Amino acid sequence: MQRWLHLRLDAPLMAFGGIAIDHVGPTRDFPSASALTGLFANAIGWRREQGSLHQALQDRLVFGALIVAQGRLLTDTQNAKLEANDRGWTTWGRPDERAGATYDSPHRRRRDYLADHDCRVVARLTPGEGPDLDALAAALERPARPLFIGRKPCLPSSPLFAGWVEAEDALGALKALALPGRALWPMTFDAPGSDLADLRNWVTGLHGGSRRVCEGRLP
């Protein structure tokens, strides 16, 4: 039997990200591997530029997720007129600014959120360098910085650390929660799976590949 960290992701608004195209930022129903890595790293107090630490944590992360209450999709459309000297804050180390000779057109962004979504996560770490499960649990209970679920406005409604469960694998850990709902877990050899593009290359900041997962309903 293995020990699994149980997280409750519950908030008025949350966003799990997805494949962004142009100014459109979608959200998945389930948290991605990169989103959970970022959540843990923020709780520990790592900086964004510590890519090797983030990458090592993501490489060790094994998890399953269960939707207890399906949230409704909420879309936030943002329009801002940027003048020639206006700058925008970014996460990649340099300000965003307008280019070209005309500034009459607005700067547009669209971001999707899940409203009143309740998702549970069971997670463990494979052996390797870095924090262990107890360190992650301690960081979630006393985080180095304020925690948010996906985007900074998405503050959790309750403590994220919800205890421990024991099971042989991620599906067994999800069943141990004794909650019905739609679930996602790593693919096993005796079940059909699909590719999920939710990995990040934390050193380059780009898409980092896919993993094989299974999806189904738990009674």
Domains of the chain, with CATH numbers? 2-75+113-218 (3.30.70.2660)
Which residues, 6+ apart, have CB-to-CB distance to 126 below 8 Å? Answer: 60, 62
**What contacts 174, CB < 8 A, 6 or more positions away?**
64, 65, 66, 120, 122, 183, 185, 218
Whole-angstrom distance between the N-terminal and C-terminal Cα of the chain?
22
Average pLDDT of span 47-57: 94
Q: What is the chain's alpha carbon radius of gyration, rounded to the nearest angstrom?
A: 18
pLDDT band at residue 90 under the 50/70/90 scheme? low
- 3-state secondary structure at position 172: helix
Statement: residue 185 has pLDDT above 60: yes
To the nearest whole number, what is the mean pLDDT of the chain?
89
Residue 32 and residue 58: Cα distance in Å, rounded? Answer: 10
Strand ranges for the chain from DSSP E:
2-14, 24-25, 61-69, 72-80, 87-88, 96-97, 107-125, 161-167, 181-186, 194-201, 206-218
What pLDDT is recorded for position 92?
63
Question: Which helix (H) or strand (E) is 44 found in, with range?
Answer: helix 33-44
Bridge-based pairing state of the strands 206-218 and 194-201: antiparallel
Using 50, 70 and 90 to split pLDDT, how confident is the model at 98? low
**Per-residue pLDDT at 18:** 74
Ordered DSSP codes for 175-215: HHT---EEEEEE--TTS--EEEEEEEETTTTEEEEEEEEEE
